[in-house]
């Protein structure tokens, strides 16, 4: 598990989801784009929630380790979606003259 730190708050999500968010943030930073991302997370009581964050150039985001959780969710659909968005963003960058 990792905390995705955004502004003055953080959200707890799976390690793979946090990594996908960071990779997408890097791609958007390289291309000058921005996007709204609905991140699967858990609240302080451990209840699944979705947190919407805006990613784009100049928006600092970081991921920091959290306590390991043997029941860490995989968030496969979220990671697959963000991986595709990352590929698309980077492809648009290489398509520019």
Note the pLDDT tens digit of each residue in 35-88: 999 999 999 898 999 999 999 998 899 999 998 776 788 899 999 999 999 999
Q: How far is CA 45 from each of CA 10, 12, 48, 89, rounded to the nearest angstrom?
A: 15, 11, 9, 35
Asked whether residue 25 is assigned to any structural domain, the reply reads yes
Asked whether residue 64 is assigned to any structural domain, the reply reads yes
Asked whether residue 78 is assigned to any structural domain, the reply reads yes
- Can you state the angle between helices 76-95 and 15-31, rounded to 10 degrees? 20
Asked whether residue 31 is assigned to any structural domain, the reply reads yes
DSSP structure class, residue 8: T
**Domains of the chain: total:** 1
pTM of the predicted protein model:
0.89
Asked whether residue 13 is assigned to any structural domain, the reply reads yes
Asked whether residue 97 is assigned to any structural domain, the reply reads no
Q: Are 37 and 13 in contact (CB under 8 A)?
A: no
Asked whether residue 96 is assigned to any structural domain, the reply reads no
């Amino acid at each position: 598990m990792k905390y995705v730190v955004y502004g003055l708050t953080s959200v707890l999500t799976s390690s793979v989801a946090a990594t996908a968010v960071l990779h997408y943030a890097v791609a958007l930073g390289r291309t000058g784009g921005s996007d709204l991302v609905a991140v699967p997370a858990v609240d302080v009581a451990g209840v699944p929630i979705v947190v919407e964050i805006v990613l784009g150039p100049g928006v600092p985001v970081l991921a920091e380790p959290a306590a390991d959780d043997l029941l860490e969710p995989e968030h496969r659909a979220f990671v697959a979606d963000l991986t595709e968005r990352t590929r698309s963003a980077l492809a648009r960058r290489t398509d520019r003259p």
